[in-house]
Structure 1
């Protein structure tokens, strides 16, 4: 079943990974609404510009930790300050290719982060995450 109105955002500097994620989301018919950003700064600016425009905001964000310009944790620090002004609740999953216990602990400092996922994200994991949005 296609979730026509669900919007998913991928914030990652790895173009191959973003392509892979978009293909899975479309092949599995999880969503057609996908927005991508190469770093946290561009994503933050987009969210800030659209904070009162819920139909433009994503329902779900996959946020990479290690990126140039503004990494995932820097994004979260800014997002946390902005969150009270955002017109919709956005589910955020922190994504990384390394299972660093320090990163895992640090991600727990942000109540806005739903969970921590390691790359590569399988189709099954993506399906489970998107299905959890329906509840």
Structure 2
């Protein structure tokens, strides 16, 4: 299987989940690069620096975002990301990936313009291949 996605970003504080997702992406050759951030603040700092680097902004094509994290949770990240998204010229597909099955969380996530979809954990290999191929 060839790599169609150059860069994927995982924003999650669960190291087991991060390692699993990274390994699936690597073994299936779904992306060349996997960026990992353990909370929304780390990711937001990265995106803001990328925007400032006008020569070559380094932004992923796909983001997998958890909701429940320390420092800056997924909701806070989405709020901040929505404010800066118009400064990013590259297309980014952002997926909220969470173990929450609360319909309010699902509806809230899907109502945010920058969110492509809500995917419940555990995410299936088929989901990765559908999104990344």
TM-score class, shorter: over 0.9
TM normalised by structure 1 equals: 0.91
Q: CA separation in 1, counterparts of 2:75 and 2:117?
A: 14
Query: 1:99 aligned to 2:97?
Result: no
Task: Give 3-state SS (helix, strand or coil) of 1:73's partner.
Answer: helix
Q: Which residue of 2 aligns with 1:114?
A: 116
Long gaps (5+) in structure 1: none
1:14-51 CA-to-partner distances (Å, cap 9, x unmatched) read 00000000000011111131000000010011011102
**What's the CA shift for 1:106?**
1.0
Q: Which residue of 1 aligns with 2:38?
A: 38
**Does the 8 A contact of 1:44 with 1:79 survive in 2?**
yes
> Mapping of 1:1-135 within 5 angstroms?
1-3=1-3, 6-51=6-51, 52=54, 56-131=58-133
Task: Give 3-state SS (helix, strand or coil) of 2:95's partner.
Answer: strand
TM normalised by structure 2 equals: 0.92
Aligned length: 131
Q: CA separation in 2, counterparts of 1:64 and 1:54?
A: 27
Task: Give 3-state SS (helix, strand or coil) of 1:121's partner.
Answer: coil
Q: CA separation in 2, counterparts of 1:5 and 1:17?
A: 20
**What's the CA shift for 1:87?**
2.6
> Which deviates more, 34-43 or 105-114?
105-114
**What is the root-mean-square deviation of aligned Cα atoms in Å?**
1.5
**Does the 8 A contact of 1:4 with 1:33 survive in 2?**
no
> Which deviates more, 96-105 or 14-23?
96-105
**What's the CA shift for 1:110?**
1.0
> CA, structure 1 residues 3+73, in 2 after alignment: closer, same or farther (shift >3 Å)?
same
* Structure 1 segments of 4+ aligned residues over 6 angstroms from their partners: none
**Does the 8 A contact of 2:5 with 2:61 survive in 1?**
no
Long gaps (5+) in structure 2: none
